[in-house]
Structure 1
């Protein structure tokens, strides 16, 4: 792919590489220099050489600390006394609150009213004042701006701020210092702060590097904006950290000039990526943080033979949601299955089915009988059996054995 010739420090861009270097000096020693490691297993799986930058190992488990801290360190003494305010439902809130507490700066965070309690509690644990307002981030944003004006607070935007963008770019500097052979960066896009800083840093350090953005299919705001298409963003995505409806006005020109392509990923690939990172790398990554790997999985030809850098930009995922993702991945891989079996309403039918499970050495986890709410005649019934197998081939042998014994058997598929 031919890369755009615009220099990464072109004067029309709102942030330069010098700004990122200054940010790196400012925040040094106050955020973790997270490790960059090559994943041999993911490399074999994808056909690309994969390097992972573990930003989920920051204290608040996300890269957002970098930009938030850089912005806080730029405040005047008078601004520090007045305090800061932000709108966020997640990682920006925690990163800003944590470093504001460290620096003795009062912080107020406006969150949507239905923000999960755990996120509210984690933000409050850093002594931030949490204000719950509105049902969506847009309403929280408007309220935060009104409070900032009324109370004289400094508003710290999660992505549309030059100091924040520069701070986020420091992660890519570290990544390319640790793995200079990388020729392709795959970076998640929400509002564009992370990829903005990443693209400026990467294209300065290696003008030939390929910078690719990733968005959830349900929230393609940046891709739609650059294409001149109507922005549509709605629905529940696993990658809520990049579920942004309107990209930043400062980040749009950076992405337009320095990013080669924006790929969209579906929920299945996001789930698969989260599960792979936990099972292979033993690291917990939220949906947005796994978006880069999801794009590589979904587009194997695009990345085969490349040396790819992936930013695991966050690890804040609800434990119940994580458990659900892992179980769904087991189901898609054939390790867990739910079978629908048609029986006759006579003694011994369920026993005969159970014997086949025993013969095939398949573990039964749950059994449910349905006599009333079926389309069968009154003397027919359906049983659904959830079971655990060694994999898809083992499952197929079980289904063949059941059908061979005369039982009408089908697999209940996931969406």
Structure 2
């Protein structure tokens, strides 16, 4: 069971193991949502995520026989790295089954910590099925990534640190995948202060915990479709579910497009890389429904590969109108391109990419297609530039920006 005594034991074991992740006040996010917002940066943890807490504490509770058999688990990445790191420290062999869609940085980091990695299936549930089979057939000690109360106890130590840094915290937002983090943090937080509000945050495309809470029992979603791979779980844990049911006050669901915005906010305002699952509590700040509270968003991890990062940056800039492409038909005669350039310069449009195609059609009066990708200050500036072009007689049409880096 998750008790105050077990949380104290976990805190004792983890002292000196964890990297300090003190709360960071965010003036920008506070202004945007009307609350005093603090970030709990578990993306700065030793393995880049909070999962080290539960994995290290779990291994500390295993007996010699369980350790000697070797460990096996399934993970979309962060638990894999946490368990591999903790197993290496305890000199225990570990096998990790990861979905084939796991970002490369998570796979390589897990291998670097000395674990054997097997890629299997498209989502966590597929990997978990193989890991459970290996535990039975190879007599390995199975360490579940979230459906384990000992593991959840280790994760819950985050609440101790939040209350230490911010004793008058009013609300704590945590991402939910399988429910281990939410169960641990919510239970300890309520033990420390029954009045604190605990808000779980899930992606709309993989809201298995919300569906389970509404049904009153654990349910399995037919699919888990979200860019937040760390919480793409179709079935939450049945062991941790009762604690979530009792201690999490409500669930907020977030569309993937909101995570793109949150990524830019955290990167530009706080110079931190936070993975999509960890961005859920940031995106949820706009949906709280109240103001004037002390709110903590738990940034669960920051293990993101550079390809995903570049994609998020590109989509975010396009989404905010800071990058856009327009196409316009020009007469095939000298000076046409110069006329467009003057309008762009007068309106402070910064050209990133330009394509001037004379072979679109044989009508020389409108035979040149000009496609320009611009940097702007935002949606209003973008509208200003397009309006200026149209006022000068150019039928500028917004086009697919595509990959503006190429």
TM-score by length of 2: 0.91
In the other structure, the counterpart of 2:145 is 158
1:413: Cα distance to partner? 7.6
| Alignment CA distance shift 1:233-1:362 (3 Å) | farther
Please, what is the CA RMSD of the aligned residues? 2.4
| Equivalent position to 1:405, from 382, 392, 403 | 392
In the other structure, the counterpart of 2:316 is 329
* Count of residue correspondences: 399
In the other structure, the counterpart of 1:259 is 248
1:414: Cα distance to partner? 8.4
Q: Deviations over 1:336-388 (max 9, x none)?
A: 221232434555433321221123232211123568889x9995554321111
| DSSP 3-state at the match of 1:288 | helix
| Alignment CA distance shift 1:305-1:410 (3 Å) | farther
In the other structure, the counterpart of 2:281 is 292
In the other structure, the counterpart of 1:245 is 234
Output the CA distance in 1 between the equivalents of 2:264 and 2:394. Answer: 34
In the other structure, the counterpart of 2:7 is 20
Q: Deviations over 1:232-271 (max 9, x none)?
A: 4646523111111100001221121111110100112111
Q: Deviations over 1:278-301 (max 9, x none)?
A: 11111111111111010112x15x
| Equivalent position to 2:190, from 175, 190, 203 | 203
Task: Confirm whether residue 68 of structure 1 aligns to residue 67 of structure 2.
Answer: no
| Alignment CA distance shift 1:153-1:319 (3 Å) | same
Output the CA distance in 1 between the equivalents of 2:121 and 2:315. Answer: 32
Task: Confirm whether residue 281 of structure 1 aligns to residue 266 of structure 2.
Answer: no
| Alignment CA distance shift 1:99-1:305 (3 Å) | same
Alignment of 1:96-107 (within 5 A): 96-107=83-94
Mapped contact 1:272–1:329 kept (Cα < 8 A) = yes
| Alignment CA distance shift 1:221-1:236 (3 Å) | closer
Mapped contact 2:324–2:373 kept (Cα < 8 A) = yes
In the other structure, the counterpart of 1:367 is 354
In the other structure, the counterpart of 1:213 is 200
1:157: Cα distance to partner? 0.3
| Equivalent position to 1:130, from 100, 114, 117 | 117
Mapped contact 1:221–1:233 kept (Cα < 8 A) = no
Mapped contact 1:233–1:244 kept (Cα < 8 A) = no
Output the CA distance in 1 between the equivalents of 2:251 and 2:359. Answer: 50
Task: Confirm whether residue 47 of structure 1 aligns to residue 29 of structure 2.
Answer: no
Mapped contact 2:359–2:367 kept (Cα < 8 A) = no
| DSSP 3-state at the match of 1:364 | strand
Greater displacement, 53-62 / 138-147: 138-147
Mapped contact 2:206–2:225 kept (Cα < 8 A) = no
TM-score by length of 1: 0.89
Output the CA distance in 2 between the equivalents of 1:387 and 1:117. Answer: 32
In the other structure, the counterpart of 1:117 is 104
Mapped contact 1:62–1:314 kept (Cα < 8 A) = yes
Mapped contact 2:360–2:367 kept (Cα < 8 A) = no
| DSSP 3-state at the match of 1:289 | helix
Output the CA distance in 1 between the equivalents of 2:392 and 2:185. Answer: 59
Gaps of at least 5 residues in structure 2 are none
Q: Deviations over 1:269-322 (max 9, x none)?
A: 11111111111111111111111010112x15x142221111011001111211
Output the CA distance in 2 between the equivalents of 1:378 and 1:19. Answer: 79
Output the CA distance in 1 between the equivalents of 2:225 and 2:372. Answer: 29
In the other structure, the counterpart of 1:355 is 342
1:193: Cα distance to partner? 0.5
Task: Confirm whether residue 91 of structure 1 aligns to residue 78 of structure 2.
Answer: yes
| Alignment CA distance shift 1:357-1:296 (3 Å) | same
Output the CA distance in 2 between the equivalents of 1:268 and 1:170. Answer: 31
| Alignment CA distance shift 1:414-1:235 (3 Å) | farther
Gaps of at least 5 residues in structure 1 are 1-13
